[in-house]
């Protein structure tokens, strides 16, 4: 199994495990937008988007898209029963008041202290910062879902971010295509491995020191 759709969905499925009934959850663009497709049916959640939706459902079937209904990345979504629309100022007000329980974001780099750099690569055109800065600071829990290395094979988990920060010491958990980490006061703790990867695969591709949990969960295919 190579990189690609499978590993993206494995990361999204693992992130979905962190969601509990009753939560308000904001999803970033990219891999995080796959998370609703992996949520068990008994999990009743309000997905929030900063363009002004609370209560997003899964991606619509082909041909069922509503051209006026999209997520913050501009992709078509559905609305669950009880969902609502608002303008962006209200949506950002919800974030800034700490009403979002969990945000799941992509990232370009994360440091061992949980610093997040996910909004710009200097010299490249970007769509804008979006809600990442507010979400990283104000959401009650911040999960980063990203590939372990960049396209050139360099670690995206580093001792200190080289890219401009979105927010300092805000990340609680990192889920990559290789493993799952929690950010602690003592440093990054490796807690889970995705089959078929082992400890050495992760150590060789991580840019900083790691602490290992006593029990490392192996996540099967």
Q: Which residues are catalytic?
A: 50
- Would you say 117 and 110 are in contact if contact means Cβ atoms under 8 Å apart? yes
Cα–Cα distance between 55 and 52 in angstroms, integer?
10
Q: How far apart are CA 221 and CA 214, in angstroms?
A: 22
What distances in angstroms separate CA 90 from CA 49, 50, 60, 78, 93, one per listed residue?
11, 9, 25, 20, 5
Strand order in the sheet with 141-145: 78-85, 53-57, 46-49, 24-27, 102-105, 141-145, 173-175, 179-184, 187-194, 211-219
The C-alpha atoms of residue 12 and residue 98 are separated, in whole angstroms, by 24
């Amino acid at each position: 199994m190579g990189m690609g759709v499978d590993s993206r969905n494995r990361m999204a499925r693992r992130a979905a495990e962190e969601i509990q009934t009753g939560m308000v959850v904001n999803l970033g663009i990219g891999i995080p937008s796959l998370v609703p497709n992996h949520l068990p049916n008994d999990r009743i959640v309000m997905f929030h988007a900063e363009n002004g939706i609370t209560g997003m459902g899964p991606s619509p079937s082909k041909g069922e898209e509503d051209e006026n209904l999209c997520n913050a990345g501009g992709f078509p979504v559905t609305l669950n029963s009880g969902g609502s629309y608002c303008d962006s100022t209200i949506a950002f007000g919800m974030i800034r008041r700490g009403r979002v329980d969990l945000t799941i974001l992509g990232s370009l780099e994360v440091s061992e202290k949980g610093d997040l750099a996910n909004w710009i690569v200097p010299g490249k055109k970007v769509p804008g910062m979006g809600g990442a800065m507010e979400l990283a600071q104000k959401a009650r829990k911040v999960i980063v879902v990203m590939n372990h290395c960049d396209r050139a094979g360099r670690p995206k988990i580093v001792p200190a971010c080289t890219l401009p920060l979105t927010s300092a010491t805000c990340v609680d958990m990192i889920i990559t295509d290789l493993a799952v980490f929690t950010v602690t006061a003592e440093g990054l703790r490796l807690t889970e491995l995705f089959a078929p990867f082992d400890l050495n695969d992760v150590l060789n591709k991580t840019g900083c020191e790691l602490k290992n949990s006593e029990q490392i969960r192996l996540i099967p295919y």
